[in-house]
Structures are given as structure tokens and as C-alpha cells.
Amino acid sequence: MIVRTFLKEKIAHLLKELWNEEVPIPLLYPDQPKFGDYATSVAMALAKSLRQKPLDIARTMAEHWKWQDICTVEVAPPGYLNFFVQDSLLGALAQEEFLHPHYGKSTLLSDKKILLEYVSANPTGPLHIGHGRWAALGDSLARILSYAGAEVWREFYVNDAGNQIRLLRETIQAVREKREIPENGYHGAYIADVAQQNEDPVQYILSWQKETLKNFGVEFDRYFSEKSLHESGMVQKTLDFLTSKGVAYASEGALWLRTTDHGDDKDRVLVKSDGEYTYFAVDIAYHQDKIKRGFRSLYNILGADHHGYVKRMEAAVWLLSQADGVETDFRIIIGQLVSLYRNGEPVRMSKRTGDMITLEEVLEEIGRDALRYYMVMRKADTHLEFDIEEAKKQSEENPVFYVQYAHARICGILRNLPPSLPKVQGGVIDSPEARLLAIRLLRFPEVVQDAALALEPHRIPQYLEDLASVFHKYYTVHRIITEDLEKTAQRAILVRATKNVLALGLHLIGVSAPERM
């Protein structure tokens, strides 16, 4: 059971019954144990409309609280209701749910079929650290959304057509023929390597990117080729469709889309006056393809360097949905850039000049677990400053090891457990520290749901650090394995449950849960 959801329902039920009120119920985790495991401030919010003192409202609610077997309730000034989960319930949950291999999995989003697009780097050069961030975010998000019950399909849009690609081919051709690299061509150190391959440069670079992502633990259901949209005629079909619906129009020798109908500050070109499609037009065709494949939730992770693109894309998908008579849930998650430093000196990341550090190299230096953790532990919209030397130095101190260590520590304890233990009859919550630990375990499903709804993977590592901390403290105070076999069995329950949740949480962000460290 999810206690928070239970409380919200019952509180809402009470308000309806007592005063016929229907308001959102704020439910929070108090920062001090004496204020309970959960609390609500709803009485304060209702004071005005009920014309009563918050404290009186809270008291009345407490008097009518009839779910004492789940939570007891206390009133605190100026009008809080503080809920205390029953130890017996915690103990029972610890023996069942907390140990379940899919604990925290829900059907919250089971009505959603989501297409999550992320990374979508141009196949014109190696992936950089920013791609690493989108990759880690996207992969974690996909795992979290799936765990919340959604059907998630992961795609990488391959821009294997257009000017950049033509320029890349010209560059490679020039190098192979020992000619000068054309103006605006690519100059990275990797160019020489690509030119030496007996392979199509685009395919070569793409497989290189795939390899890097694979090493990073990030995989896709499909690498969607932009070229295929041209070849299948999807682009023209989509444009004809938009024209027939009157939202695309010809002017000044070009074809335009009325993106101003939906928040953009000017209409955008779909077909240039030279007859070529814009990148935008092809991307619209791609999104039309997503819709045609039955996806209604279209989530894109986009680098902040492309955020100027958001408004027109939102407008385009809105127009497509309107024209098709479907409702879509289109959401763009902006991943802010990663500024790369080495010993405090900024490192340039231009593909053109070639002075860049690739994701592959950083991955090599820092390691997969540490890098993945580092990339998802922060909110997506914070500007991340990443110093390679600092990160290398700190890799020993990286919070990922703190969390993993808790897991490994537990594995060590479990290895030392006596081979046979008596059956546990309750008493699992035998100390304040045990109680704090159980409460953390109880919150795991709530955290997963919050992360899924807010599309914020960073909540998972945040939670894991808290859980690990509470466990380390518990471990310091209480000895698990003792002569008292009954006590040992009781404590083993909680420890095993903690291991389970740590492993589940780490898995959600694609980080391993080592048995030994």
C-alpha cells in the first residue's frame, strides 16, 4: 500500500463528510520525527472558507479520524495534523512489500504510451559530455516511467540527411583525396580517423556513437533515420496534409507554417524558396510519424542550446494534433548544458575546431557508475559545471559510492547470517533508528511516482542518499547479528528490505549495486 495516497484519500473523505469541502490535500514529510511521518496543513488553508480557527478544524478532524490501525494522528499548532504510521504496519510491510522484487512498481501511468526521444545527436562527430547528460537523463527517465506503469518507447533521431551531412561527406572526401578541407568543413582530430575507414562516414560515426552509448549503459528501441522520412514520402505527405488543413501557406516563394497560432513569435518556413525542406519540416514529419504510430505522449529531451526551437515545435505538434483530431501530450524537457573544465580552465567543445573532449574519454576517466550518477543527481535545468580533474579526484568521494557502499555493506552482513533463523513474529521495529529506516522504505513508491510525474530523475539519487544515510546510522548504532537468533531474524528483515530498495533505486538510474566493495 502507498500510505501517502491512503492518507490523502481519507483526509479528503473527512473534509467532504464534515464540511462538504473538496480541496487539494497538501501532504508533506515533516523534517522532525516529533511532527510525525506525514503531515498536512490543510486546516490552515480551510480556515478562511470555514470561518473557523485552523486549530479547531484540525481538532475536529482528529476527533473523527478512524484509521488508527494505519496511522495515529496528533494536532499541532497552528493547525497541523501530524500522522504517525503504526509500527505494527511498518513491520508487516517490511516482511512483505519492501522485500518484493518489484516493490514500488505501479500502474499510475498505465494508460500512457510514451515515445521518449533523447540524445538525437548529429552523426557528424563524437558525442560530448552534454550528450552524456541527456543520455543518462533519458535512460533513467524511461526506466522510471516504465516502473510507474507507462509503456515507453525510446528513440534516437538520426539526422542523416541535410547540409551538415553533405558537409561531412565533402570533408571526408577531401581528406581522402588529400585536398584542402572545404570552407565550414569539419576539423576535429577524429576526421582523420573517419577518413581512413573503408566505410560510409555517417554509418561509421553512428556506430561509434552507439558503441559509446552502449558502454554508458544507454540503449534505444530504435534509431530513427531522418533519411527514411524523405524516402518514404512522409515529409511531402505531412506538408500536403498541413496545407490542406490551411495551417501551411505559400508566401514569398516559400511554404510557411502558422506557428503564431500557438505561441510562436513568427511563422516558420517549411519549404525554402529553393524548393528544399527545412530541418523543421522534416522534424514535423517525424512527429507526425510518431502520432501515426499511436503515441499520444511525445516526450523529448532537448539540449538547452536548442531551446529556441521549443515554441515552434510545440506549435507544430499542436497543429498536427488539431488537424488529426487527436489529443497529444507533448512535453519538452530542456537539459541545460554541461560546462566542461579541466583544472579550472574551460574546455571548448566545438566539433569544427576539434578541440574537444568526448563523452567516450570522460567515461573512460570517470567510470560508468560515477558518471551516470553525477549526470542524473542534479535537476535537468541546472547549469552543470563539470571539472574533469575535480571529478576524477572526487570519484572516491562521489555520492554514488556512498549509496553503493550501503548496499555492499548489507551484502556483507547477509553473507554472515547464521544458516537458519527462526520465523519472525513481529517486533521488526525495535528502535527509533529502525523506525526511521522503515519510514524511508515506505516512501520509496511515493518517490518513484513523484519522479515519474514531474519527469525528474534526480529525485531518485536524492532519495537514495537519504536512505543510505539513515541505514549507515542504523548500522552504527545497532548490531544485526547477535547470539539472540530471534532478534537477529527480526533485524535481518529490515536490512534485507533496505538492500532491496537500494538495488531497485540504483537500477532505476542505471547504476550497478555491487555486492562487495
Partner RNA sequence: GCGCCUGUAGCUCAGCUGGAUAGAGCAACAGCCUUCUAAGCUGUGGGCCACAGGUUCGACUCCUGUCAGGCGCACCA
Q: Cβ of residue 380: shortest distance to RNA, in angstroms?
A: 8
Q: Cβ of residue 237: shortest distance to RNA, in angstroms?
A: 19
Query: Judged by CB under 7 A, how many residues of this single chain contact RNA?
Result: 91
Q: Cβ of residue 182: shortest distance to RNA, in angstroms?
A: 14
Question: Within 314-343, which residues bind RNA (CB under 7 A)?
Answer: 334, 336-337, 339
In the set 105, 408, 427, 430, which binds RNA (CB under 7 A)? 408
Q: Work out whether 421 is an interface residue with RNA (CB under 7 A).
A: no
Q: Work out whether 348 is an interface residue with RNA (CB under 7 A).
A: no
CA dist 422 and 44 (Å) reads 49
Of 208, 118, 207, 112, the C-alpha closest to 154 is 118
Q: Cβ of residue 507: shortest distance to RNA, in angstroms?
A: 18
Nearest to RNA of 159, 358 (CB atom): 159
Q: Cβ of residue 215: shortest distance to RNA, in angstroms?
A: 20
Question: Within 438-457, which residues bind RNA (CB under 7 A)?
Answer: 450, 453-454, 456
Q: Cβ of residue 147: shortest distance to RNA, in angstroms?
A: 18
Nearest to RNA of 100, 393 (CB atom): 393
Question: Within 75-104, which residues bind RNA (CB under 7 A)?
Answer: 76, 78, 80, 82
Nearest to RNA of 221, 381 (CB atom): 381
CA dist 229 and 225 (Å) reads 7
Using CB under 7 A, which of the segments 125-133, 139-147, 185-193, 246-254 binds RNA? 246-254
Q: Work out whether 304 is an interface residue with RNA (CB under 7 A).
A: yes
In the set 86, 260, 394, 512, which binds RNA (CB under 7 A)? 394
Q: Work out whether 308 is an interface residue with RNA (CB under 7 A).
A: yes
Q: Cβ of residue 245: shortest distance to RNA, in angstroms?
A: 21
Q: Cβ of residue 168: shortest distance to RNA, in angstroms?
A: 10
Q: Cβ of residue 80: shortest distance to RNA, in angstroms?
A: 4
Using CB under 7 A, which of the segments 173-181, 197-205, 434-442, 471-479 binds RNA? 471-479
Nearest to RNA of 41, 173 (CB atom): 41
Q: Work out whether 345 is an interface residue with RNA (CB under 7 A).
A: no
Provide Rg for the chain, Cα atoms: 28
Residue 83 cell numbers, joined:
500522522
Q: Work out whether 382 is an interface residue with RNA (CB under 7 A).
A: yes
Interior/surface letters 196-235, b for 16+ CB within 10 angstroms, e for the rest: eeeeebbebbbebbbebbeebbbebeebbbbeebbeeebb
CA dist 172 and 194 (Å) reads 7
CA dist 237 and 229 (Å) reads 10
Half-sphere exposure in the Cβ direction for 49 (13 Å, CA) = 11
In the set 106, 413, 486, 512, which binds RNA (CB under 7 A)? 413
Residue 90 cell numbers, joined:
511498518
Residue 182 cell numbers, joined:
572545404
- Dihedral, 190, 196, 202, 203 alpha carbons, nearest 10: -120
Question: Within 170-229, which residues bind RNA (CB under 7 A)?
Answer: none
Q: Which amino acid is at 149?
A: G
Nearest to RNA of 79, 153 (CB atom): 79
E strands present in 316-395: 329-335, 338-342, 345-346, 384-387
> What are the CA-CA distances from residue 185 to residues 163, 164, 172, 472 (Å)?
11, 9, 9, 55
Nearest to RNA of 154, 491 (CB atom): 491
Q: Work out whether 29 is an interface residue with RNA (CB under 7 A).
A: yes
Q: Work out whether 163 is an interface residue with RNA (CB under 7 A).
A: yes
Q: Work out whether 307 is an interface residue with RNA (CB under 7 A).
A: yes
Work out the end-to-end distance of the chain between its first and last CA atoms, rounded to an integer number of angstroms.
34
The 8-class DSSP code of residue 227 comes to: H
> What are the CA-CA distances from residue 376 to residues 209, 332, 393, 406 (Å)?
20, 17, 19, 19
H or E element at residue 82: strand 80-85
Q: What is the maximum alpha-carbon separation in the chain?
A: 88
- Supply the angle between the helices 399-415 and 368-376 in degrees, to the nearest 10: 120
